[in-house]
A and B are shown apart, each in its own frame.
Chain A
Amino acid sequence: MSNSPKRSLIDGLANGLGYGFILIVVAFFRELLGSGTIWNYQVVPQAFYDAGYMNNGLMIMPPMALIAVGIIVWIQRAHQQKKEEGK
């Protein structure tokens, strides 16, 4: 065992926070695109719907969460690569 309880606590806490952060990012986009709301408040104005905008029903379906996570992985890795090349 190379880490003290204090360091382990920080490690566990930070892992949980990272998980929660990704969860919120995915939920934000799925709710915004899927139902046009955020935290149950309507954010897409009625004028958009009148002009022919429609909610993307596909985003509500569970498999779209995986695709959203895949895109997050893509963005993160691209960012990481750019950082490493810059060094």
Chain B
Amino acid sequence: MENIANIFVKSVFIDNMIFAYFLGMCSYLAVSKTVKTSFGLGVAVAFMLTITVPINYLIENYLLCKGAMTWISPSFADVDLSFLTFIVFIAVVASMTQLVEMVVEKFSPSLYNSLGIFLPLIAVNCAILGGSLFMAERSYANVGEAAVFGFGSGIGWLLAIVSLAAIREKIKYSKIPKALDGLGIAFIIVGLMGLAFMGFMGIKL
């Protein structure tokens, strides 16, 4: 139980997808204009990470690793399909994105319209594929830990995009040089937030 809580806190704050690894930056900067749409995208990304990371964990550990298929038959002990890891991970992420896109289109057309091209772009969002690859690299003990890691990373991403959107909504009322307004100031804000999040680095849980 303590381990699970550690993984959660670590993935939200210390290994935050945005501020520690700079993954998923494109949609992060492009969609964070208002809190409402950014919250929608954040929930979609968190949901995708929560689903795809445990699915990919199961696929990797029961199909792709060397000797992973011994549960089917002992004669498969030498089979090593790990060269397929990227293709399978991307296929899982893309098919899940299709699913999420259909659900969002059906239940929230306004969110679907405001997200525009960035909803299908979740399929190649580096944060989501990155989550699966970090999961493979860190070799979590069981599927529960992998799911908590995926959920925590998603919550970290949601936290990051909502806080940036909140700052950008407030900063509309400040006097910024006209050329810096919009994208330029967003980059600088993200840089400063990244510097602040570096304070979490080195905390060992």
Which residues of A approach B to under 8 Å, CB–CB? 58, 61-67, 69-71, 73-75, 77-78, 80-81
Contacts and interface: CB of A to CB of B under 8 A. Distances in A.
Given A64-B195, A65-B191, A70-B186, 14 more contacts: A63-B191, A63-B194, A66-B22, A66-B187, A66-B188, A67-B191, A70-B185, A71-B184, A71-B188, A73-B183, A74-B180, A77-B184, A78-B179, A80-B179
B179 A70 contact: no
B191 A81 contact: no
B191 A73 contact: no
A74 B184 contact: yes
Contact of B198 (A61, A67, A80): A61
Contact of A66 (B177, B179, B190): B190
A6 to B, nearest CB: 25
Interface in B155-205: 177-180, 183-188, 190-195, 198
Main secondary structure of the interface of A (DSSP, over half): helix
A66 B180 contact: no
A26 to B, nearest CB: 11
A51 to B, nearest CB: 28
B118 to A, nearest CB: 18
Contact of A62 (B184, B185, B194): B194
Nearest to B181: A77
Contacts of B194: 62-63, 66
B177 A70 contact: no
B107 to A, nearest CB: 32
A74 B186 CA distance: 11
A69 B191 CA distance: 10
B159 to A, nearest CB: 17
A69 B186 CA distance: 10
Nearest to B20: A62
A1 B194 CA distance: 40
Contacts of A65: 191
Contacts of A58: 195
Contact of B191 (A66, A78, A80): A66
